[in-house]
Amino acid sequence: MRIAVVYKSSTGFTERYARYVSKELDADLVKYSDRKKVNSGDYDILIFGSSIIAARISAVEWFDKKRGDFKHSFLFVTGANPKENNPDLDKYIASEKAKGHDMVYLPGGLNYEKMSAPMRFVMKKMFLPMVKKESGENSLMYKMVSSSYSLYDEKYAKPLLDEVRKVLVENKE
Q: What is the mean pLDDT of residues 98-121?
A: 90
For residues 35 and 86, membership in a common domain is answered with yes
For residues 68 and 132, membership in a common domain is answered with no
Does residue 7 have a pLDDT over 70? yes
For residues 74 and 134, membership in a common domain is answered with no
Question: Between the CA of residue 3 and those of 27, 30, 125, 166, what are the distances in Å?
Answer: 5, 11, 41, 14
Q: Identify the band that residue 160 occupies on the pLDDT scale cut at 50, 70 and 90.
A: very high
Domain, as residue range, for 137: 112-147
For residues 94 and 117, membership in a common domain is answered with no
For residues 65 and 143, membership in a common domain is answered with no
Question: Residue 24: its pLDDT value, please?
Answer: 98
Question: Residue 41: its pLDDT value, please?
Answer: 92
For residues 119 and 38, membership in a common domain is answered with no
The count of structural domains within the chain is 2
Q: What is the mean pLDDT of residues 109-119?
A: 92
For residues 55 and 137, membership in a common domain is answered with no
Assign residue 161 the CATH number of its domain.
Answer: 3.40.50.360
For residues 80 and 116, membership in a common domain is answered with no
Q: List, for residues 49-68, the tens digit of each pLDDT value.
A: 999 887 789 999 999 999 99
For residues 65 and 104, membership in a common domain is answered with yes
For residues 71 and 155, membership in a common domain is answered with yes
Question: Residue 140: its pLDDT value, please?
Answer: 79
Question: Residue 141: its pLDDT value, please?
Answer: 79
Question: Residue 59: its pLDDT value, please?
Answer: 93
Question: Residue 43: its pLDDT value, please?
Answer: 96
Q: List, for residues 61-95, the tens digit of each pLDDT value.
A: 999 999 999 999 999 999 988 877 677 888 888 88
For residues 95 and 134, membership in a common domain is answered with no
Question: Residue 173: its pLDDT value, please?
Answer: 61
Sign of the dihedral defined by the CA atoms of residues 74, 55, 106, 96, in that order:
negative
For residues 75 and 32, membership in a common domain is answered with yes
Long-range contacts of 33-37 (CB under 8 A, 24+ apart): 35/6, 35/62
Return d(Cα 48, Cα 6) in angstroms, integer: 5
